[in-house]
């Protein structure tokens, strides 16, 4: 029999299967993203606390199966892990659902994802203890994209490397080019054939700051505004081949924070 493995995990999505089972997808600290079947999860409160619902933060016990991609989940418990309580506010539920779905879209089964787990845990933790706003959304997007290898550049021009804001005018225009994953300055913009999103120098500087700010400090911080939100939304749309189901709900709750 395969050995039982244990790891902290966050439930990304779950669905009922048969009469009492659940199929669950989780992001784990030590085993990447896993999908597994939890036999009797709907009936057993002893082995499966909270029935493995999305947002659940658990210590996962599982065994790998010789055949098939689904692992066999033997037990899940809260232990001493921080729990993400979001059911007291519609905006928290909307942003939290978006965080789960974006993480799910950017991770692959069993690939190393310890840092993605930490980004998601920090994001949900900030959301649970503070509040939902555009700054937290943008901070989470920047951090998760950075983990996934899409280090967006908002501090200097992608062409000439001129530092953003070097002229001291926060209202000066810069241009975000999706295909280049960063901004170009007004001087270099005419030489590029690609479409670009015009944004203020200040909005770009805010996004750069949110990308390194501790997640818990993000709620209440200044957000990049509609132009910065549009830049992030367009870039995410370029790397994910589908519209996230949670995005429309989130955009209706936090209007102007990310519509493409």
- Tens digit of each residue's pLDDT (9 = 90 or more) over 245-255: 999 999 998 86
Domain range summary for the chain, segments of one domain joined by + = 5-77, 88-260
pTM given for the model: 0.92
Mean pLDDT of 6-29: 93
Residues contacting 126, CB < 8 A, separation 6+: 136, 215, 216, 218, 219
Residue 79 confidence (pLDDT) above 90: no
Q: Considering only the top CATH level, what class is 5-77?
A: mainly beta
Residue 134 confidence (pLDDT) above 90: yes
Calculate helix-pair angle for 90-106, 134-147, nearest 10 degrees: 10
State the Cα–Cα distance between residues 95 and 157, nearest whole angstrom.
Answer: 31
Residue 229 confidence (pLDDT) above 50: yes
**What band does 260 get if pLDDT is binned at 50, 70 and 90?**
very low
Task: Decide which of 229 and 45 is more confident.
Answer: 229
- pLDDT at res. 176: 98
**What band does 257 get if pLDDT is binned at 50, 70 and 90?**
low
Residue 44 confidence (pLDDT) above 70: no
Residue with tokens 């016990």: 61
State the Cα–Cα distance between residues 97 and 172, nearest whole angstrom.
Answer: 35
Q: Cα torsion for 43, 127, 11, 254, to the nearest 10°? A: 100
Task: Decide which of 40 and 5 is more confident.
Answer: 5
Architecture of domain 88-260: Up-down Bundle (1.20)
Residues contacting 102, CB < 8 A, separation 6+: 140, 141, 144, 236, 244
Residue 231 confidence (pLDDT) above 80: yes
Mean pLDDT of 95-103: 97
Lookup: tokens for 81: 């892990």
């Amino acid at each position: 029999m395969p050995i039982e493995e244990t790891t902290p995990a966050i439930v990304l999505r779950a669905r009922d299967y048969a009469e009492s089972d659940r199929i669950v997808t989780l992001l784990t600290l030590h085993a990447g993203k896993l999908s597994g079947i939890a036999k009797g999860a709907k009936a057993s409160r002893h082995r499966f606390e909270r029935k493995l619902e999305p947002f659940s933060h658990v210590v996962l016990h599982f065994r790998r199966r010789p055949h098939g991609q689904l692992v066999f989940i033997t037990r899940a418990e809260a232990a001493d892990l921080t729990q993400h309580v979001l059911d007291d506010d519609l905006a928290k539920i909307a942003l939290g659902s978006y965080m789960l779905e974006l993480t799910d879209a950017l991770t692959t089964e069993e690939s190393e994802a310890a840092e993605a787990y930490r980004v998601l845990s920090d994001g949900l933790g900030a959301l649970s203890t503070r509040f939902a706003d555009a700054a937290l959304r943008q901070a989470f997007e920047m951090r998760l994209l950075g983990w996934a290898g899409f280090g967006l550049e908002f501090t200097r021009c992608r062409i000439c490397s001129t530092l953003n804001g070097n002229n001291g005018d926060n209202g000066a225009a810069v241009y975000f080019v999706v295909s280049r994953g960063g901004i170009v300055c007004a001087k270099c913009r005419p030489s590029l054939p690609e479409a670009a999103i015009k944004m203020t120098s200040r909005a770009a500087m805010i996004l750069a700051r949110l990308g390194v700010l501790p997640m818990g400090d993000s709620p209440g911080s200044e957000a990049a505004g509609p132009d910065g939100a549009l830049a992030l939304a367009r870039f995410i749309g370029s790397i994910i081949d589908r519209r996230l189901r949670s995005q429309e709900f989130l955009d209706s709750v936090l209007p102007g924070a990310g519509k493409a």
